[in-house]
Amino acid sequence: MDVRPIALVITAAAQTCLLVAVEIGFRRGLGPETTRQIAHFVGAASVAALPLFLRLSELIVLAAFFTAILAWTRARHLLSSVHGIQRVTVGALIFPAGLLLAVMLGWNHPGAIAYAALVLGVADPAAALVGKRGDGVSWSVIGGHKTLAGSLAFAAVAVGIGLLMGLGTGDVRILAVFGAGLVLALVEGSLGYGLDNLPVPAVGSLLGISMLGL
């Protein structure tokens, strides 16, 4: 496999520092939901830029490494800043795999990968923050329930990301941006247990290419 050890070590160390930082925050009083969302946001957002510097083979190694780390810490009841929430979820365990899928499907389309990563990193936590209030229309899914308010928040943020990226490339496809946001909100709103962390970035990457021209 064509990998550069120095690039791998530097990137892995930087991502590990994120986990250390959120664990310190947890031990100093931040709640696990807060620290988990911080890790979710920063971890996903960083992947938006990594394909510009790393090879696909290196990203595969990193995804495998952090999946192993997250599985090991969960089994050992460590890293409570990520695993210490009360609800049952596998979101953290499949988080690296979901982002890797986005990278593999969107390789040679860094804009699409960035769109997918930012949707997962920003829109998904926004849906969780709004949806946990539990007000208004809601429905049951495997592993929990979803709310209309949360799905609308997800769609709104996804649309905002799509518009900003379109402005950045000089090709704003308004109808496509809204359509992609709706599709991604439907995907996110259909799965519980954190399982949406797998298809959301993958679908986001495909939509970024096919609909948004990224």
Q: Confidence band (pLDDT; 50, 70, 90) for 93?
A: very high
Residue located via tokens 């290196």: 58
Average pLDDT of the residues of the chain:
93
* Digit-coded pLDDT (tens) for 20-34: 999 999 999 899 989
Provide, rounded to the nearest whole percent, the portion of the chain with pLDDT above 90.
81
Kindly report each contact of residues 69-76 with a partner whose C-beta sits within 8 Å and lies 24 or more positions away, as own/partner: 69/16, 69/19, 70/95, 70/96
For residues 7 and 143, what is the distance between their CA atoms, to the nearest angstrom?
38
pTM: 0.94
Closest by Cα among 121, 116, 97 to 106: 116
* Digit-coded pLDDT (tens) for 134-192: 677 888 888 778 889 999 999 999 999 999 999 999 999 999 999 999 999 999 999 98
Closest by Cα among 180, 57, 69 to 116: 180
* Amino acid type, 7: A
> Residue 20 is part of which domain span?
5-210
- For residue 55, pLDDT over 90 is answered with yes
For residues 107 and 152, what is the distance between their CA atoms, to the nearest angstrom?
29
φ, ψ of residue 78 to 5 degrees: the values are -110, 175
* Digit-coded pLDDT (tens) for 191-207: 988 899 999 999 999 99
Mean pLDDT confidence for 26-53 = 92
pLDDT of residue 182: 97
pLDDT of residue 134: 64
Q: How many domains does the chain have?
A: 1
pLDDT of residue 3: 87
